Amino acid sequence: MSIPPQIGRGVPRADAHAKVTGAARYSAEHRPTGAVHAVLVCSRVPSGRITGIDASRALVSEGVLAVLSHLNLPRVAAQPRLIPSLAGTTAHGQSFFPMQDERIHYAGQPVAMVVADTLERAEHAAELVGVDYAEEPWTTTVDQGRDRAYEAEHIFGGFVPGRTDRGDVEAGLAEAETVLESTHRFAANHHNAIEPSAATAVWEDSKLTLYDTTQGPTATRLTVAELLGVPPSNVRVVSEFVGGSFGGKAMIWAHPTLAAMAAQHVRAPVTLALTRAQTFSNTGHREEQEHTLTLGARSDGTLTAIRYRKLSPTSHFDDWAEPSLGPAAQLYACPNFEGVYDLVRANTMTPTFMRAPGEGTGAFVIETAMDELAHELGLDPLELRLRNHADTDPETGNPWSSKGLRECYARGAELFGWHSRDPRPVQGARREGDWLLGTGMASAVYPVYSVMNPQRARARVYADGRAVVETGCSDIGTGAATVMGQVAAEALGMQSEAVTVHYGDTELPNTVAAVGSAGAGAVSAAVHTAARKLRDQLVAQALADQGSPLYGADPDEIEVRSGRMSLRGSPGTGEAYGEMLGRNMTFDAEAVGSWQPPGRDSGYGTATFGAQFAEVAVDPGLGLVRVRRMTGVFAPGRVLNRRTAHSQLMGGMLWGLGQALLEATHMEPNQGRWANPSLGEYLVPVNADTPDVQVEMLEVEDRVVNPLGVKGVGEIGQVGAAAAIANALFHATGRRFRDLPITIESVMAPA
């Protein structure tokens, strides 16, 4: 199938101009008349109850309009229940809403909210609110709760079983000639999108407009409406510009509802923006975790058994763990697998999705273990992976809807120069002054999630020859808005420059939240369906119009180019959409398209695959690691825009660099709270940390996942990147790094 000309083009971002001029308005930057500010006061203790709130000093502070707490905030209308936003319904981030009673479940939990006429007055008064606590014992780390761990029945909002078995792991281990066991520890992580979550709430009579930082405007609408006890149709959510998310804005947390409640209370529009520190305890996190993996293999490298246990803390209200076992279960043709999620109840909020949720940690474990196995067996790491390649989905035996992993390995190896690699993993085998050099590789896999409800879009053509396409989805920096225009243009037979996109508003046709790398697939399916319907409608109108040169023609013989319908092979016979509309005294024409997703049981394994390569330089004397270059080759189905997809994959790979070497939120066990909730102390890659990144996309045809065969690029770039870096470190130093992040002190420590 040839790649159509509008889809795939590297057209510049639709919103680039607004973003480089400063015209783009984010959620805390809407200024309705009379708007005031709310600031949260958050618990400093991790467990216990509030014994008193003294609002007297805050209330007399200049400009203060209200101090709200469990003492005077209305009760929410429904007990929230966690449901992942991919389900397309309410998306409570946790089964808990704060400021409803005196109970403290975790440090950083909102306990009061101050509303004042200016931001600095609200911030100042928030410091004057006195809160007394009766503290109770707490658990906040794996080590504190290890003895009370339990096997989860389900995790991930009920979507993933706590235990997975296939084949017979004991028999597989008995068959093995080599058995490797390794334990890996991961620090907790926070998303740290540069825009902290914020909401601006405006009531007009009984109607609420919320400007919200969200991956899913509809998810915000349904969640806030349920908590407030108002009809969803009375809540409009606008999210045109969202300053990054990475999962932190995938679920709906308390602050948009609190902003709406505050606005109701003071009878004025309210902006509630979390501070950077508050985002660490109000928008979820990737949990601390410990993984134990046992691999059994024959001497030729064939895997005979995989046993995998993960242990991690969750909240008191939900059984949440990111599904880290996926890559080990899906990457290789191993007949015997056992995976278990163990949980510890802890005084934290419910953990949540964070880019490559589960796949990021899980791929690190299986892919560093495969590197270790290759070394033990004297095999090239890439060759070991080829020997265990899964030709069908090992979890179900189903065929893959599309794969392309072998091609990714081959192309990546060629680009990176893998085959000329010196295989010796010896400290100093390759050296430049004090720098030891090493290279490593890893596989990448990320599931293609099926969305669960109809995806809608509206397409409209105007008589002047321009078109508009609309969906409710937000663009969190992915390029969703840009590809909407391209997909619509392709189906309408127009240039994407002639298509304007409207998005990020619940008043537009509904699409699911842009989560789980499923956004591009869902939105492109909806837009394609709507635009194709409109094209067919306009062609049918021309064929039935006695004034049209195409009157009476066969619809199968019509083609549309640059908005002009004509007879195939006779381009002179035809007319533009606009000419026909104008002749009929019509200003525009539109169609709403609805795409019904195929559902979960397609009979195929659906996943995106890729191959990662990295080169590092290590100075063991100083503990320094520099990633010199990274190569990633991915097979994401069809690519809608080469430029924005490249940026997504590159960003994902550099997230892998951060995961490998920098990112950690440290829990202070004696205080029960995060010790480093700031961008000064939670380290993320800066410009000087990041090498140039080589990214290639191999398009594979997929006729199962959605009409255009789009598998998504949001997360696959991160999966395996940290493993490739850690494997390169092994190659450089001869030492195995099993915990993330790999810190300076661990690199310095003698072997």
Partner 1 sequence: MTPPQEGRTGLAGLAGHTVPRQATAAERDRGEIGPEPADVLLTVNGTVHRVRLEPRVSLLDALRERLDVTGPKKGCNQGACGACTVWVDGHRVLACLTLAVACEGREVTTVEGLADGDELHPMQEAFVDNDALQCGYCTPGQLMSAVALMKEGHHRDDAEIAEWMSGNICRCAAYPNIRRAIRQVRDSGGRAEQEGES
Residue closer to partner 1, measured from CB, 274 or 365: 274
223 contacts 90 by C-beta, under 8 angstroms: yes
Residue closer to partner 1, measured from CB, 71 or 622: 622
251 contacts 284 by C-beta, under 8 angstroms: yes
Residue closer to partner 1, measured from CB, 195 or 226: 195
Residue closer to partner 1, measured from CB, 26 or 203: 26
Q: What does the alpha-carbon distance between residue 405 and residue 690 come to, in Å, rounded to a whole number?
A: 26
- Alpha-carbon distances of 532 from 232, 455, 488, 528, 590, rounded to whole Å: 30, 15, 8, 6, 11
Q: Do the strands 36-42 and 270-273 form a parallel or antiparallel pair, or are they unpaired?
A: parallel
Q: What does the alpha-carbon distance between residue 540 and residue 552 come to, in Å, rounded to a whole number?
A: 10
Minimum distance between the CB of residue 269 and partner 1, rounded to whole angstroms? Answer: 14
Q: What does the alpha-carbon distance between residue 249 and residue 266 come to, in Å, rounded to a whole number?
A: 26
SS3 per-residue string spanning 557-620: HEEEECCEEEECCEEEEEEEHHHHHHHCCCCEEEEEEEECCCCCCCCCECEEEEEEEEEEEEEC
Residue closer to partner 1, measured from CB, 176 or 476: 476
Q: What does the alpha-carbon distance between residue 712 and residue 447 come to, in Å, rounded to a whole number?
A: 10
Helices (H), 268-380: 276-279, 326-330, 359-377
Residue closer to partner 1, measured from CB, 13 or 711: 13
Residue closer to partner 1, measured from CB, 216 or 707: 216
SS3 233: helix
Minimum distance between the CB of residue 119 and partner 1, rounded to whole angstroms? Answer: 5
Minimum distance between the CB of residue 20 and partner 1, rounded to whole angstroms? Answer: 4
Residue closer to partner 1, measured from CB, 13 or 291: 13
Helices (H), 104-204: 119-128, 142-145, 169-175
212 contacts 199 by C-beta, under 8 angstroms: yes
List, in sequence order, every residue forming a beta bridge with 49; answer none if it has no partner. Answer: 103, 134
Minimum distance between the CB of residue 478 and partner 1, rounded to whole angstroms? Answer: 7
211 contacts 27 by C-beta, under 8 angstroms: yes
Token digits for 463? 């008589």
Residue closer to partner 1, measured from CB, 205 or 692: 692
Q: Which residues contact 381 (CB under 8 A, 6 or more apart)?
A: 370, 371, 374, 375, 440, 441, 727
Minimum distance between the CB of residue 215 and partner 1, rounded to whole angstroms? Answer: 11
Q: Which residues contact 607 (CB under 8 A, 6 or more apart)?
A: 330, 393, 400, 403, 445, 446, 447, 448, 711
Binding residues for partner 1 (CB under 8 A): 12-13, 15-22, 24-26, 28-29, 31, 117-120, 192-196, 241-246, 273, 275-276, 476-479, 643-644, 646-648, 650-651, 654-655, 658, 678-680, 684-693
- Alpha-carbon distances of 543 from 38, 177, 199, 580, 592, rounded to whole Å: 59, 72, 50, 11, 21
Residue closer to partner 1, measured from CB, 249 or 502: 249
Residue closer to partner 1, measured from CB, 473 or 581: 473
Minimum distance between the CB of residue 118 and partner 1, rounded to whole angstroms? Answer: 7
Q: What does the alpha-carbon distance between residue 646 and residue 694 come to, in Å, rounded to a whole number?
A: 9
Minimum distance between the CB of residue 347 and partner 1, rounded to whole angstroms? Answer: 26
Q: In 3D, which of 237, 231, 266 has the Cα closest to residue 249?
A: 237
Distance between alpha carbon 404 and the CA centroid of its chain, in Å? 23
Residue closer to partner 1, measured from CB, 642 or 735: 642
168 contacts 228 by C-beta, under 8 angstroms: no
Minimum distance between the CB of residue 138 and partner 1, rounded to whole angstroms? Answer: 27
Minimum distance between the CB of residue 679 and partner 1, rounded to whole angstroms? Answer: 4
Minimum distance between the CB of residue 456 and partner 1, rounded to whole angstroms? Answer: 25
Residue closer to partner 1, measured from CB, 11 or 437: 11
Residue closer to partner 1, measured from CB, 23 or 174: 23
Name the CA radius of gyration of the chain, rounded: 27
Minimum distance between the CB of residue 211 and partner 1, rounded to whole angstroms? Answer: 12
Q: How far apart are the first and last CA of the chain?
A: 54
Residue closer to partner 1, measured from CB, 515 or 565: 515
Minimum distance between the CB of residue 443 and partner 1, rounded to whole angstroms? Answer: 21
Minimum distance between the CB of residue 657 and partner 1, rounded to whole angstroms? Answer: 8
Residue closer to partner 1, measured from CB, 239 or 304: 239
State which amino acid sits at residue 112.
Answer: A
Minimum distance between the CB of residue 426 and partner 1, rounded to whole angstroms? Answer: 29
Minimum distance between the CB of residue 522 and partner 1, rounded to whole angstroms? Answer: 19
Phi, psi of 85 (to 5 degrees): -65, -20
Minimum distance between the CB of residue 479 and partner 1, rounded to whole angstroms? Answer: 8
SS3 75: coil
Q: Which residues contact 175 (CB under 8 A, 6 or more apart)?
A: 296, 298, 304, 305
Query: Looking at the chain, how many residues does it have?
Result: 751
